[in-house]
Chains A and B, each alone.
Chain A
Amino acid sequence: MNRYWFCLSGLLLAVLLFGCAGKSSSDSNEMVLYTAHGAKIHGLDPGDIGDQTSAAYASQIYETLYDYHYLKRPYELIPQLAAEMPLISQDGLTYTIHLRNDVYFQPDKCFGKNQKRRLTAHDFVYAWKRIADIKYISKNWWVFDGRIKGLDEFREYTKTVQKGQTVDYNLPVEGLHTPDDFTLVIRLKQPWPQIIYMLAHLPTAPMAKEAVEYYGRDIINHPVGTGPYMLGRWHRGSFIELVRNPNWRGQLYPSEGEPNDFPDGFLADAGRAVPFADRLISVLIEEDPPSWFLFLQGKIDASGIPKDNFSQAIDQRRQLTDDMKRRGIRLYTFRDPSTYWIGFNMEDPVLANNKPLRKAISYAVDRDKYIELFTNNRGETAYGIIPPLMKDYDPNISKIGAHYDVARARQYAEEAKKLNGGVMPKLKFAMPGTDVVFRQRGDFLIKCFRDAGLNIEIDYMDWPTFLDKIKTKSAQMFGLGWVADIPDSENFLQLFYSRNISPGPNNFNYSSPEFDKIYEQLRVMQDCPERTELYRKAERIVIEDAPAVFILHGVAYILTHDWLYNYKPHAFAYGLSKYRRVDTEKREKYRKRFKDF
């Protein structure tokens, strides 16, 4: 019997010790950056990335033609893989881009042994054709849809390719021309001023054909990029580790920035070679309590503030609490390029034909209270779609947009009743969540609606069901938001363009010939004061038609420990880990002193 127990104990121990394949590797001299991510990384293939978490890690591995200057504001683009800013033809239809000739892909077995593979213009053409290939089912076709000469035709061709046959990527595309290995010429169907931002957007990163062919569909797990880091270990659903790319060409930390960057310490490393950190480790933590505990223990270098721990970190004056200051924690707040709203389905007969009803709902919602209750005041009241961070933001928007006014809401509700010819039918609001926070939000909104004499019920559902309802135009009202990919307000206005109605991004199914006319005009204009005026005019048309109740624009609060340097928040760029530096000794001291806190 003892022998059996011995064997069983041995087995248990073996399961405990070896049940998980974890390589233990740590060197006290190396600089490791520790972070956490609150959502799963779906994949590291830039052509198919559609979520922020995946983009945040893929951006350390892949690079784009252009990148945002790390320190300068307003946001400014600088060449990254390109040798210089593009040469743009007079008519704005041809972009000639010269590439750097010192860029190499990371070492990978797909290139053969000891072979350094240089980046060429063909890698961009291949990557973009791949996104156009319908068989690849990219989430990012919207980037190129209807923009580049011949690319839509290439997509049409891929539709004709039968299952089992391969798509011929050698077929020429008129608008993607490579006169030599380091020159890329893009010919557009019509002017597209936002292309410059798209060339800094991750989906446009180059791909090595050899890597895609070698790994096939598993390329999603085997990123092969040109960036400062490459994939070390990735345990899906647990953690990801990135290590330095030995083939990276190198770069210096910027020497210029905003006036406050020097006193704030963001220029202390000016002119030093980046990346500073040898490894980046990020752990998946989907629940708030462990994430917060690990941050306070000093295991994680930077963190957001969970809703339930907000008062522990931030006091009434919106400053760090004494406890946080004692721990040497720093606070960074910055505006998000985001807007959140209650949307109306403009194809719903009740809502579409009753503007007073939509206005009544708009005036019924107490936005300030909502922001206080559900975001710990981490938001600004929204009056329109364009957030204050964007340079086209209308400073007079608060005088135009709807705001909380119960008396006015009741007045509009009466008008709506008359227009309807009697009592309004009960409306349904699709809420994209079923947990307690969503139910609290629902209760709050119901109270607002009831105060204004409106009869609206909340339909709670999970995110996939919600998405399905939006795509199939079967939701009457819905709560949703948008975070801009690029610093151009067109990114917000496209949400109301009639050619983008569901399943496209115009989930309001809003259609206004007047808006469309202005949108079509502004989308091809280069940045100028006239375009800003058109943006504001288009926004006012939307506000007047009220296809949405604009609720808030986000404000982010980030905490970092004082051993983490160069943490300047950026609203659009992701590949910023190369600039971060850690004082590892200070971190060790904190961890040892942790119990004193």
Chain B
Amino acid sequence: MLSYIIRRLLYTIPIVFGVMLLTFVLFNVVGGDVSDQIAGRAASAETIAEIRAEYGWDKPLFFNSEDFFDTQFFNHLKNTATFNFGRSWADRERVIDKIKRGAGYSLALTVPMFFISLAISVCISLVVAFFRGTWFDTAVMLLCVAGMSIPYLSFILFGQYFLGFKWGLFPVYFWPDHFPVQYYLLPVLVGVVSGLGGEVRFYRTVMLDEMRSDYVRTAFAKGLGTASVLFKHVLKNAMIPIITQVVLAIPFLFLGSLLLERFFGIPGLGYLFIGAIGSRDYQIVGAITYIGAILYVIFDLLTDICYSLVDPRITFD
């Protein structure tokens, strides 16, 4: 197993290099020069030139005949590898400080949303799979498709207007001077409800595959109770696709939720990211993309390791 992990870690080197190259090309070559924007509307040409020098945008992109290492790409490699993402050009704050601060807010939203959603959707899918083909199954599937068809923004506006504003059950928006936990209730609820449709459908398919297996019939024949069969046997055997789904979703939890954070005023990474895209703050967009990619690679490896933990048939030799 150790040799497998080492091998997988070595594979990540070209992947990370590819990510660095891609982010550089996307944000420094294709994205264009943002020095005009930094300088403001009334800036002179000399101010714009100074900005280009300040951020190193006056250097050659890939090749410098005089000094091989003095290029924009090499500086990008060096900085991203050491997590030195520089300063946001919009407000000159260190990008890493923004990310550190925003990650807590994003996780406070996405972690409960994810686990609550997972628990509910797995439970519902088990029950629905058990009653497959009945009116109950059809009704739940109909609701799932309806839920999937409604735009995410509609859930947000509905929740904000009725549950927050009209009925006063939850705060409408993040507000300083108050205990933070209550401001997460409504966005978490909206996030959970809006995501249920797709997840229940996915897990129902997984559960149905297991329900048709011989061991389930055997368990029922031996006289085991329904709950015991479903939650002890079926659920355990359905863990592989669930783990794949769960572990690979974790990096995205870190990145937050773009719309929920913006509409509920949660100052997380999703909000930061969408704002940075809008203002072409490539320092931030590049940094979050890079960290997201690194996390994805790490959790992809963890997924493989987890397989062997839940399924003894899987080995890495």
- In the complex with contacts A139-B40, A468-B36, A290-B172 CB distance below 8 A: yes
Collect the chain A residues with CB atoms within 8 Å of residue B160's CB.
289-290, 293
B99 to chain A, nearest CB (A): 12
Collect the chain B residues with CB atoms within 8 Å of residue A24's CB.
177-179
Q: Is the CB of B176 within 8 A of A237?
A: no
In chain B, residues 102-160, which have Cβ atoms closer than 8 Å to a Cβ of chain A?
102, 104-105, 107-108, 111-112, 115, 157, 160
In Å, the complex CA distance between A464 and B31 comes to 10
B161-191 interface code vs A (CB 8 A; 1 in, 0 out): 1001100100011111111110010000000
Q: Is the CB of B173 within 8 A of A238?
A: no
In chain B, residues 243-266, which have Cβ atoms closer than 8 Å to a Cβ of chain A?
262-265
Choose, from B3-11, B42-50, B75-83, B291-299, the stretch at the interface.
B42-50
In Å, the complex CA distance between A460 and B165 comes to 35
Given contacts A12-B111, A22-B180, A283-B176, 14 further A-B pairs with CB under 8 A are A15-B111, A19-B108, A20-B108, A22-B179, A24-B177, A43-B91, A50-B41, A137-B50, A220-B93, A293-B161, A297-B172, A299-B175, A468-B33, A468-B36
In chain B, residues 42-94, which have Cβ atoms closer than 8 Å to a Cβ of chain A?
42-48, 50-51, 54, 87, 90-93
Nearest-neighbor residue (CB-CB) of A19 within chain B: B108
Collect the chain A residues with CB atoms within 8 Å of residue B92's CB.
43, 217, 220
B34 at the interface (CB under 8 A from A): yes
Q: Is the CB of A467 within 8 A of B275?
A: no
In chain A, residues 453-471, which have Cβ atoms closer than 8 Å to a Cβ of chain B?
462-465, 467-468, 471
A277 to chain B, nearest CB (A): 14
A586 to chain B, nearest CB (A): 19
CB pairs A–B below 8 angstroms (6 shown): A41-B91, A283-B173, A289-B160, A472-B36, A503-B36, A503-B39
B279 at the interface (CB under 8 A from A): yes
B308 at the interface (CB under 8 A from A): no
In chain A, residues 313-347, which have Cβ atoms closer than 8 Å to a Cβ of chain B?
none
Collect the chain B residues with CB atoms within 8 Å of residue A22's CB.
176, 178-180
A2 at the interface (CB under 8 A from B): no
A25 at the interface (CB under 8 A from B): yes
A281 at the interface (CB under 8 A from B): yes
Collect the chain A residues with CB atoms within 8 Å of residue B34's CB.
464
Q: Is the CB of A20 within 8 A of B48?
A: no
In chain A, residues 495-510, which have Cβ atoms closer than 8 Å to a Cβ of chain B?
503-505
Collect the chain B residues with CB atoms within 8 Å of residue A42's CB.
90-91
A521 to chain B, nearest CB (A): 22
Q: Is the CB of B174 within 8 A of A238?
A: yes
Interface centre among A217, A237, A465 (most CB of B within 10 A): A237
Collect the chain B residues with CB atoms within 8 Å of residue A399's CB.
none
Collect the chain B residues with CB atoms within 8 Å of residue A585's CB.
none
In Å, the complex CA distance between A523 and B157 comes to 52
B265 to chain A, nearest CB (A): 6
Question: Which of B32, B37, B107, B265 contacts A15 (CB under 8 A)?
Answer: B107
Collect the chain A residues with CB atoms within 8 Å of residue B279's CB.
463-464
B280 at the interface (CB under 8 A from A): yes
Q: Which residues of B contact A (CB under 8 A)?
A: 32-34, 36-48, 50-51, 54, 87, 90-93, 98, 101-102, 104-105, 107-108, 111-112, 115, 157, 160-161, 164-165, 168, 172-181, 184, 262-265, 267, 271-272, 275, 278-280
Q: Is the CB of A238 within 8 A of B87?
A: no
B108 to chain A, nearest CB (A): 3
Collect the chain A residues with CB atoms within 8 Å of residue B178's CB.
22, 24
Question: Which of B50, B105, B172 contacts A134 (CB under 8 A)?
Answer: B50
Q: Is the CB of A293 within 8 A of B172?
A: yes
Q: What is the total of A-B residue contacts with beta carbons within 8 Å? A: 164
Collect the chain B residues with CB atoms within 8 Å of residue A21's CB.
104
Q: Is the CB of A289 within 8 A of B42?
A: no
Q: Is the CB of B275 within 8 A of A237?
A: yes
Q: Is the CB of B278 within 8 A of A462?
A: yes
In Å, the complex CA distance between A503 and B181 comes to 48
In chain A, residues 420-479, which have Cβ atoms closer than 8 Å to a Cβ of chain B?
462-465, 467-468, 471-472
In chain A, residues 553-574, which have Cβ atoms closer than 8 Å to a Cβ of chain B?
none
Q: Is the CB of A134 within 8 A of B47?
A: yes
B152 to chain A, nearest CB (A): 14
In chain A, residues 126-156, which have Cβ atoms closer than 8 Å to a Cβ of chain B?
134-135, 137-139, 141-142, 145
A135 to chain B, nearest CB (A): 7
Q: Is the CB of A283 within 8 A of B50?
A: no
Q: Is the CB of B271 within 8 A of A237?
A: yes
Q: Is the CB of B263 within 8 A of A145?
A: no
In Å, the complex CA distance between A383 and B115 comes to 60
A285 at the interface (CB under 8 A from B): yes
Q: Is the CB of A137 within 8 A of B91?
A: no
In Å, the complex CA distance between A465 and B41 comes to 13
Interface centre among A15, A24, A472, A504 (most CB of B within 10 A): A15
In Å, the complex CA distance between A287 and B258 comes to 13
Q: Is the CB of B161 within 8 A of A503?
A: no
- In the complex with contacts A137-B50, A462-B278, A468-B33, A235-B176 CB distance below 8 A: yes
Collect the chain A residues with CB atoms within 8 Å of residue B267's CB.
235-238
Question: Which of B93, B112, B172 contacts A16 (CB under 8 A)?
Answer: B112
B137 to chain A, nearest CB (A): 29
In Å, the complex CA distance between A287 and B87 comes to 26
Interface centre among B51, B172, B178 (most CB of A within 10 A): B172
- In the complex with contacts A20-B180, A281-B177, A293-B160, A15-B42 CB distance below 8 A: no
A369 at the interface (CB under 8 A from B): no
Q: Is the CB of B264 within 8 A of A290?
A: yes
Q: Is the CB of A220 within 8 A of B176?
A: no
In Å, the complex CA distance between A595 and B105 comes to 30
A233 at the interface (CB under 8 A from B): yes
Q: Is the CB of A15 within 8 A of B40?
A: no
Collect the chain A residues with CB atoms within 8 Å of residue B90's CB.
40, 42
In Å, the complex CA distance between A159 and B164 comes to 56
Collect the chain B residues with CB atoms within 8 Å of residue A290's CB.
160, 172-173, 263-265
A58 at the interface (CB under 8 A from B): no
Q: Is the CB of B262 within 8 A of A286?
A: yes
B305 to chain A, nearest CB (A): 18
Q: Is the CB of B165 within 8 A of A293?
A: yes
Collect the chain B residues with CB atoms within 8 Å of residue A504's CB.
42, 44
Q: Is the CB of B280 within 8 A of A139?
A: no
A294 at the interface (CB under 8 A from B): yes
Nearest-neighbor residue (CB-CB) of A44 within chain B: B91
